[in-house]
Amino acid sequence: MSWRSGGRLRWAAAVPFALVGLLGAPVGTGAATGTRAPVERTAEPTEQVTEPAEEGALVPSYEAGLTPEDEKVKAFLTQNAVLEDIAAYASERIVLPQDVPLHAAGCGEANAFWDPRAQDITFCYEYLEELAPLLAAQQSKGTAEERSAQLDQDLVGVTNEAVLHELGHALVNLYDLPVVGKEEDAADQLSALLLASGDERHVGYALSTITSYAALANAAARGEQPLKVYADEHSLDAQRFYNWVCWLYGSDPDQYAPVVQTERNPDGILPPDRAGQCPGEFRQMEKSWSPALKPYLKT
């Protein structure tokens, strides 16, 4: 399969030209990696979320880390107001029936989860600690500074993806939504729907997500993941990679046409058989999630 030639998923080669600049866009003006001192940024106080009482919102908080590495991730997320930005974005697009606490925390594992009993979402600092070296290894172009800025953007992107995925579980639970198929796939779909239909910054986060699944799938292809991943309730990373490529393409087939593999475009990463289904998949996702979406998304 062409996407695995050279041992790497070649998403970057297929990224539409117009998006190349986007991929290199820095995170705000003061983005920082976990390895260098974050630049000053004044985080918005969470009390400024001014939703009316009948509508809930994600309510961010940053808990103490368990390790010095956790504390670096906490500083990165705090100083870039990453959770606050996600909460504001979700409020624009999702109707939440109640406030949902969104904790960033040290968990002792690379994870993110919705807790149906506590009715809150936790994003673990370890998630970024695990992904950062994989994302960095995925990079092949640019100066050290450009790579660092790209890594920052990718880390913010995968944080968006993970939190919006957990928001999907929260919505299924809080609205008692019927889910056909795996709830994990439905949660991925909500995350993809919100990011792919967003502005350039959020589409960039969708691209970061695709890059992260490419990195994880490459690690799996190298035999660096245990066999138990096949028992996991999530789809495999390579499947999630293709799903995200498909959904992004399906959100705007004209713009993302270069990702489709054709005779004239043999480097396209999305097989044509799947590509033909993607616009329909994306429309179906909008329909499935419509009870929780703000009306303007229902186009």
Residues in contact with Zn ion by the rule CB under 5 A: 184, 187
Taking the complex as a whole, how short is the minimal distance between the CB of residue 216 and Zn ion, in angstroms?
15
Alpha helix segments (H runs only) across the chain: 11-14, 17-23, 68-79, 82-93, 125-138, 144-175, 183-196, 200-221, 237-251, 272-275, 278-289
Residue 63 vs 184, nearer CB to Zn ion: 184
Token output for 93: 């697009």
Q: How far from chain centre, in Å, is Cα 266? A: 27
How long, in residues, is the chain?
299
Taking the complex as a whole, how short is the minimal distance between the CB of residue 114 and Zn ion, in angstroms?
7
Residue 59 vs 187, nearer CB to Zn ion: 187
Burial class (CB in 10 A: 0-12, 13-18, 19+), 29: exposed
Residue 107 vs 187, nearer CB to Zn ion: 187
Residue 187 vs 285, nearer CB to Zn ion: 187
d(CA 290, CA 296): 10
Taking the complex as a whole, how short is the minimal distance between the CB of residue 128 and Zn ion, in angstroms?
17
How many C-beta atoms surround the C-beta of residue 272 within 10 A?
12
Taking the complex as a whole, how short is the minimal distance between the CB of residue 283 and Zn ion, in angstroms?
23
Taking the complex as a whole, how short is the minimal distance between the CB of residue 228 and Zn ion, in angstroms?
17
Residue 41 vs 234, nearer CB to Zn ion: 234
Using alpha carbons, list the distances in angstroms from residue 53 to 57, 173, 176. Answer: 10, 20, 21
| 179 φ, ψ (degrees, to nearest 5) | -120, 120
Taking the complex as a whole, how short is the minimal distance between the CB of residue 168 and Zn ion, in angstroms?
7
Beta-carbon contacts of 153 under 8 Å, excluding residues fewer than 6 positions away, are 23, 25, 26, 27, 31, 204, 205, 208
d(CA 73, CA 182): 31
| Residues 250 and 280 sit within 8 Å (Cβ to Cβ) | yes
Taking the complex as a whole, how short is the minimal distance between the CB of residue 225 and Zn ion, in angstroms?
17
Residue 56 vs 168, nearer CB to Zn ion: 168
Residue 224 vs 232, nearer CB to Zn ion: 232
